[in-house]
């Protein structure tokens, strides 16, 4: 890994930015959407198909991979890129969030978290040091600090304590990461919806120094209005010359609103998870393809979409294969949703570069009918 990790800001339009993250495994065009590849696969997609949708980078989950097949086994087999046949950049999260939302019998202390596997009940421990080691064994290009995301609703004192624990863990994560040219460690800002705690968290992270900064603690049920309210100030507390990553977001209009407020990268299970359940995102709104009204509809999902599902199949066919629970159903709709999410990202990158982001946003919202179509 001789080449370095760097972020080139190309243009801004209002608070929106477009640029390129340079890594030894390839470039990531921002604003970027990362498909989620939880257990070393973007579910229902071949890696080459994920690339065909326009993705430059994937997300991998430390929690899932440490339990099965374990980070040591993936390391012995040449690392996650080789293992899952995706040679472009991979960002791995640190596992803390999944432990709190998936594992059983969790015990949280200053040291870290002990928990029981949701797969077989075996006991495990995650600490900043262990999380960073797991992400190194996986060969991750962008490593996330081990943090604690407080469950909401929580009172201000709990949010402050949790944030300060995460900042101490960020220090330990930085220490454990060591010197890995071409690789990046991102800090994660916490602080709930409290502006002063968000600023305190950002200051703590800047003092430690990271190659990128995530806004954590959002998309945990607070709703779009509260999330946007926080994003109206939180990104501005972060360094302007480093990537800003909003974790776990989101629906198309969440993504557009976040980019308009200065976010550069996002990840969400929504397009892939909902693709498997028959929910299609289109420029005119959401289509629930299992609904009986699609049974005889010869039209494509979206006339303006060039993905394989829209190019080669009718709504009637998609309806049929979902109703028959055929495997191709999840494959086609996942491909469509990921293609559409990447089309939104490309549209924003072009508009920000051209200085027409306002107009692009107006068109994006005007096209979307209310409710199902």
Ligand X SMILES: O=c1[nH]cnc2cc3nc(NCc4cccs4)[nH]c3cc12
Nearer to ligand X, 247 or 331 (CB): 247
Residue 216 interacting with ligand X (CB under 6 A): yes
When binding is defined by CB under 6 A, the residue of 67, 149, 238, 345 that contacts ligand X is 149
- Is 200 near ligand X (CB under 6 A)? no
Which residues, numbered 55-94, are part of the site for ligand X (CB under 6 A)? Answer: 93
Question: Does 147 interact with ligand X (rule: CB under 6 A)?
Answer: yes
Indicate whether 191 belongs to the interface with ligand X (CB under 6 A): no
- Shortest Cβ 16–ligand X spacing (Å): 22
Please tell me the count of residues contacting ligand X according to CB under 6 A.
13
Q: Which residue is nearest to ligand X (CB)?
A: 248
Question: Would you say 154 or 328 has its CB closer to ligand X?
Answer: 154
Which of 11, 152, 165, 220 forms a contact with ligand X (CB under 6 A)?
220
**Stretch of 109-117, 157-165, 216-224, 321-329 contacting ligand X, by CB under 6 A:** 216-224
Whether 155 is a known active-site residue: answer no
3-state secondary structure the chain: CCCCCEEEEEEEECCEEEEEEEECCEEEEECEEECECCCCCCCCCCHHHHHHCCCCCEEEEHHHHHHCCCHHHHHHCCCHHHHHCCCCCEEEECCHHHHHHHCEEEEECCCCEEEECCCCCCEEEECHHHHHHHHHHHCCCEEECCCCCCCCCCCHHHHHHHHHHHHHHHHHHHHHHCCCCCCEEEEEECCCCCHHHHHHHHHHHHHHCCCEEEECCCCCCCCHHHHHHHHCCHHHHCCCCCCEEECCCCCHHHHHHHHHCCCCEEECCHHHHHHHHCEEEECCEEEECCCHHHCCCCCCCCCCCCCHHHHHCCHHHHHHHHHCCCHHHHHHHHHHHHHHHHHHHHHHHHHHHHCCHHHHHHHHHHHCCCCCC
Q: Site mask, ligand X, residues 264-303, x = CB under 6 A?
A: -----x----------------------------------
Q: Which of 50, 71, 219, 351 binds ligand X (CB under 6 A)?
A: 219
Min separation Cβ 48 and ligand X, Å: 26
**One of 13, 56, 93, 254 is an active-site residue; which one?**
93
* 267 is an active site residue: yes
- Residues in the site for ligand X, rule: CB under 6 A? 93, 97, 101, 147, 149, 188, 216-217, 219-220, 247-248, 269
Catalytic residue positions, numbered: 93, 267
């Amino acid at each position: 890994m001789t080449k370095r990790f760097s972020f080139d800001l190309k243009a801004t339009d209002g608070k929106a930015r477009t640029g390129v993250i340079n890594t030894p495994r390839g470039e990531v065009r921002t604003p970027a959407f990362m498909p989620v590849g939880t257990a070393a696969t973007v579910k229902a997609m071949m890696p080459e198909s994920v690339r065909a949708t326009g993705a430059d980078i994937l997300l991998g989950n430390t929690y899932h991979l440490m339990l099965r097949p374990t980070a040591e086994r993936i390391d012995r087999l040449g690392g996650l890129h080789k293992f899952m046949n995706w040679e472009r950049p991979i960002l791995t999260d640190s596992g803390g969030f999944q432990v709190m939302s998936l594992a059983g019998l969790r015990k949280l202390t200053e040291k870290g978290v002990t928990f029981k596997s949701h797969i077989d009940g075996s006991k495990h421990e995650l600490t900043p040091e262990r999380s960073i080691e797991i992400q190194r064994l996986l060969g991750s290009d962008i490593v996330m600090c081990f943090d604690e995301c407080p469950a909401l609703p929580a009172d201000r004192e709990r949010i402050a304590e949790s944030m300060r624990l995460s900042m101490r863990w960020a220090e330990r994560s930085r220490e454990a990461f060591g010197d890995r040219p071409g690789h990046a460690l991102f800090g994660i800002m916490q602080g709930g919806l409290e502006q002063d705690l968000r600023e305190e968290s950002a200051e703590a992270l800047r003092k430690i120094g990271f190659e990128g900064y995530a806004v954590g603690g959002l998309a945990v049920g607070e709703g779009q209005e509260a999330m946007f309210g926080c994003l109206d100030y939180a990104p501005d507390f972060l360094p302007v010359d480093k990537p800003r990553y909003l974790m776990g977001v989101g629906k198309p209009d969440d993504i557009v609103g976040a980019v308009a407020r200065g976010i550069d990268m996002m990840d969400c299970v929504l397009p892939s998870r909902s693709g498997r359940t028959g929910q299609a995102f289109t420029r005119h709104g959401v289509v629930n393809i299992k609904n009986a009204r699609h049974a005889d509809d010869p039209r494509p999902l979206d006339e303006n979409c060039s993905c394989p599902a829209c190019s080669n199949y009718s709504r009637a066919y998609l309806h049929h294969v979902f109703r028959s629970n055929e495997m191709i159903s999840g494959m086609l709709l996942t491909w469509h949703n990921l293609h559409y999410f990447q089309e939104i990202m490309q549209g924003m990158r072009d508009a920000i570069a051209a200085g027409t982001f306002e107009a692009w946003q107006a068109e994006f919202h005007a096209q979307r009918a209310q409710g199902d179509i």
